[in-house]
Chains A and B, each alone.
Chain A
């Protein structure tokens, strides 16, 4: 697990701890301990479980979300809920005189917390829509984080195959474009593979900028990218491919250290799918075409 977001939440974590502590102090100061016979362990397991689980949720919130409005609201809502759950749990150990003001206080924060969380979840939904928009062209209709390539943060070949299979059924004139960086091996040998990885990353950004909202780009293998162009006639696909190649040709990659500018060109292959096409034969055709175009150049 990655805990890099935790340090940003020190204030919020402090707040959660304060709320938990205040619940304990309130309860202890206002009542007296029960005897062993009076304690119902079944209740403790049930109510204790709720309290512990809210703490676990808060933990996951802290490690997965950067600070922000939605995060604040989620934390506050969950904290209110936890406050009630803790008081409820402490009730099992500590007796309050009946009709004590604390038992009234106990039930108020929970519904407030629930309402706040509901509002926060709606905001989260809005946020997600914005993020989806940001992810456009990197992602089709499904989200599979285990299929994201580590280097470029694009989806990998498995995701591509699944989406290609779907598109082959859905799209009428699907074009599939394969791009390959020329002399990438040489670059890697000269500048090291860490620079090679960075080049791949920056190039994928540039490719993303050059395609349409409906297109999807994936990293196929090594220095090879595949772009799915749904509902695109061949002529349009050729223009698009030329535009991408042109923009890569003008891209001056600055190497680490000397800052020397290195230019690259792409080789490409384009296949227009027909109705009867299957995934693997189509990819094979694409690969073969790329080999041919490289031998030609």
Chain B
């Protein structure tokens, strides 16, 4: 079995996400045949609960739902339903987790069965937690839908587990949508749009706060059950590449292909299928790191250049401009203009 899943690999059980979305659309009066058109999903298979779906199939289903469902809240409603959902093994595991940190760790074990589309990385800085989100598998046009779902699921699941609302702050790269009321209703009012980083921020105190229903015994039991059943890949295709790049910045295309045990040509072709290229992923990883160091840690150019292994400042400034479209000083200035009170 491969360690990662591509867009077309069929590994994730349909009864959770796909079934929720199909039910949700049916409740809103959407014709089931129209909803499933072009997805290669058959309703009978989902009802039987045996079929495995690929991320591409699920993304096509999302695209159909987005078009056919009345209203703008489809993604948010889906997110709310994801957890605990139908009380699958995976959800059971999370229900007994100790705290948010534990829940995130456990989620990374089962995320390919629950929601394989998003790569989340956590950073701590000055009593704050920063969750940076990325496309794990090539979501293309559906990325905003995926992000809306992910954020709604995070808010509603953490509220359920912790028994109180965590004041999350959201930074979205896309512009403020017309249907802002759905964001406010589902995610709260700490929202900023058109931001350079896709990032969720919250106070560190919530990170280790114990969940009321936490149970070590039940958690281990669920873990054992999970291990005894068939295992699915742990990471999405783009996620694997990003992790390797984060580990070693100087990885080139050939090294990456060797790591994944495929030819360089196959790697290129597969990246294209996922709507990206090696160079773009490299730039993405660097851009994210540079922006994090600049905006969150507030480092100056010398320190960032040193941390990112640049030999001189002009080189770094040129690269930064290529990644983000503006120079570091411009980026600092525009960041300061944004109201932080929101």
Contacts and interface: CB of A to CB of B under 8 A. Distances in A.
A224 B27 contact: no
Contacts of A288: 189
Q: By DSSP majority rule, is chain B's interface helix, strand, loop, or mixed?
A: helix
A189 B82 CA distance: 12
A32 interface: no
B156 A222 contact: no
A221 B77 CA distance: 11
Contacts of B24: 193
Give the one of B29, B179, B182, B185 with max A CB within 10 A: B185
A221 B181 contact: yes
A91 interface: no
Contacts of A72: none
Interface string B49-75: 000000000000000000000110100
Contacts of B189: 287-288, 291
A281 to B, nearest CB: 13
Q: How large is the interface on A (under 10, 10 to 19, 20 to 34, 35 or more residues)?
A: 20 to 34
Interface string A117-159: 0000000000000000000000000000000011100001110
B29 A150 contact: yes
A194 interface: yes
B85 to A, nearest CB: 11
B185 A156 contact: no
B28 A224 contact: no
Nearest to A188: B80
B27 A157 contact: no
Nearest to A189: B160
Given A150-B29, A221-B185, A193 B81 contact: yes
A287 to B, nearest CB: 6
A221 B27 contact: no
B156 A185 contact: yes
B184 interface: yes
Interface in A5-53: none
B186 A150 contact: no
Contact of A150 (B71, B160, B178): B71
Contacts of B28: 150-151
13 contacts: A158-B178, A185-B159, A188-B80, A193-B77, A193-B81, A197-B27, A220-B181, A220-B185, A221-B182, A222-B186, A224-B181, A283-B181, A291-B189
Interface of B: 24, 27-29, 70-71, 73, 77, 80-81, 156, 159-160, 178-179, 181-182, 184-186, 189
The 7 residue pairs across chains A and B that have the minimum distance between CB atoms = A221-B181, A221-B185, A150-B70, A222-B185, A157-B181, A221-B182, A150-B28
